[in-house]
Structure formats: structure tokens, C-alpha cells
Amino acid sequence: MRSLLARIKSGPIVVADGATGSLLMEHGLEPGAAPESLNLTRAGVLRDVATQYVEAGAEIIHTNTFGASPLKLAGHGLEAQTEEINHAAVLAVRESLETLTPSETPATPSASPATGDIYISGSVGPTGGTLVPYGNTEPDEVREGFERQIASLVAAGVDAITIETMIDLAEAKLAVRAARNVSCSIPIMATMTFDILPRGVYTIMGNDVKTCVAELLDEGANVVGSNCGNGTESMLAIAREFRTVTDAPLLFQPNAGLPRIEDGITVFDETPEQMASQGTAFADLGVAVLGGCCGTTPAHVRAIRSALS
């Protein structure tokens, strides 16, 4: 299998998977519980989720390790099981891929090479702490925790690392640095969450797109972009902002619209068809990877794959 970076370079746009947490809740994840706890107790659920996304046409499957850094796991009393949790997540996806026949691999668009390659990317999210001087979390503690998590993911055999949903550029840089300390060659994709404000596009911590792009690439990221916090149309506007400041490979994973609460349940209103209708616009910008974040499902990924074909 060629590397993910080689696949990105050869084109066409790579389709990534969608949300994981909502599907886990459908399978019985209790509110407030750590999604990563299922890695140790219900690996079959993770295999099922991965299978659904592969059959929908995703070429990148993310591990259920978004909150599997030791600092984040400590909030659930699971810090000591960091390595086991990360390893189990990778194993579950790999076992899912091994059970699929060639006919069940992504319905690759006729305009693209029929690679059949599916990539496993280790998901790395924020620690939940706030770095000094704004909070009391020390940078070295964060970096060391990320190194511990990412070393487990790399040892388990992931094809890439996705550092995602970051709102603080300082923490995102620590995660990228940690990944590079673990491996000088593994592909690193790093995405921030932005708000579109009257004065421009910024993270909650006040980081602008140009600064994020430059500093993440300087730390060693191969692919940069944005995920979460925005529906498809807003994310497309953010993608245009990215393209004005860099020609680097870009990754975007919009939500299925903005969440709202209905009868105590979080609902996302953007349909698969609505999300997919913007797929070619992302492709026209030269976006390298397109997937989904909160509220997206295998149906959304299938629609995106179909639109891009």
C-alpha cells in the first residue's frame, strides 16, 4: 500500500470518515462516559463503526482515541490504561478491514485510480486542560502525554496521525511536536476549530488561519485544515481562507450543520444531500481530504463519495 501522502499527492480528493461518538451512543455508550472506554469492553462496536464507514466509501478511518491522551483519560480514572486503550482502538479498525472482501472496499469514483487502499489514522484531541499562563496545565506535561498516546498509536500500526478539534494553537503545536518526536516519517494531519467573526476567521483563543497554517507546518504537520464548529457552507468559507495563505494539502471535516436540542436530544439538520452538494466546491479548491465531524453518519460519507464521483 502506498503511503497516505503519496495517495494525496496523486489525487483525486481523499474521503475520510464521519462522526464516531454519535454512533457509539447508538450502541449504548452512556452519557458522560469516556467513548474510549469501549475500546476495552466492546471492541465489536468499533469494528462495526469502521465497517460502516468503509462500506460508505471512506478511505481514511479514524481510531476511537480522540480523548485517549493520559491527561484526558485521567478525568475518567483511565490514565494507567493509556497504552492499552490506544492499541485496542487501532486493532479494532484493523480487524474490521481484514474481514472485508475486495468488493466491499470503497466505491472509488470511476475518475480515480481503483486503489482499494484504506488508511487508519490515529485521532488525537485536546487534553481538556488550559495551558499556562491562562490555566494551570504545563506545556511539558501536555507534550509528554501526547507522546505517550501517539507512541502507542504508532506502535499499533496507524498509517497517520490526525490532531483535531484544537482551539489553542499552542496545544496543537505541542501535539504535532510530540508526533514528530515519536516518528520523523509518519504523516501528520492537524486541524483547528474556527469561528467566522466580523473581523475574520479565528479560534476561540484568537489564533488566525495564517498563523495556524505557518506554525503547524513549521512544527512538522504535512496536512492542515479545520474540523468541527461549522456546517458545510461555513467550512467552505474557511477552506477558501486557508487556500489564500497556503498551497499545502488541506483537510476539512464539517459538522452536519450546527447542533440544536430537541426534546433533550442533540440534533444536526444538515442532510447527506446538503453536505454532498458542496463536495465539488471543496475539490475545486484543491482540498486533499474531505470528511465529516459532529452529526455526520455513513450516509453523509456515502453521499460525499457519490458527489465526488
**CATH number of the CATH domain containing 17:** 3.20.20.330
Measured distance CA(140)–CA(191) in Å, rounded: 21
Give the residue numbers spanning the domain of 222: 4-308
Query: What DSSP state is assigned to residue 70?
Result: H
Looking at the whole model, is its pTM more than 0.75?
yes
How far is 195 from 230, CA to CA, in rounded Å? 8
> Would you say 223 and 251 are in contact if contact means Cβ atoms under 8 Å apart?
yes
**C-alpha of 79 from chain center:** 22
Angle between helices 209-219 and 232-245 (to 10 degrees): 70
What's the number of domains the chain is made of?
A: 1
- For β-strands 200-202 and 195-197, DSSP reports them as antiparallel
Longest dimension (CA), the chain: 53
Mean pLDDT by 10 residues, the chain (309 residues): 93 96 87 93 95 97 98 97 98 94 48 62 97 95 98 98 98 98 98 97 98 98 98 98 98 94 86 96 97 96 96
User: What stretches of 158-246 adopt beta strand conformation (E)?
Assistant: 160-166, 188-192, 195-197, 200-202, 223-227
Q: Check residue 116 and give its pLDDT.
A: 67
Cβ neighbours of residue 253 closer than 8 Å, sequence gap 6 or more: 16, 18, 164, 191, 225, 226, 227, 228, 235, 290, 291, 292, 293, 296
DSSP code of 103? G
Dist CA 89 CA 113 (whole Å) = 29
Residue 302, pLDDT score:
97
198, amino acid identity: P
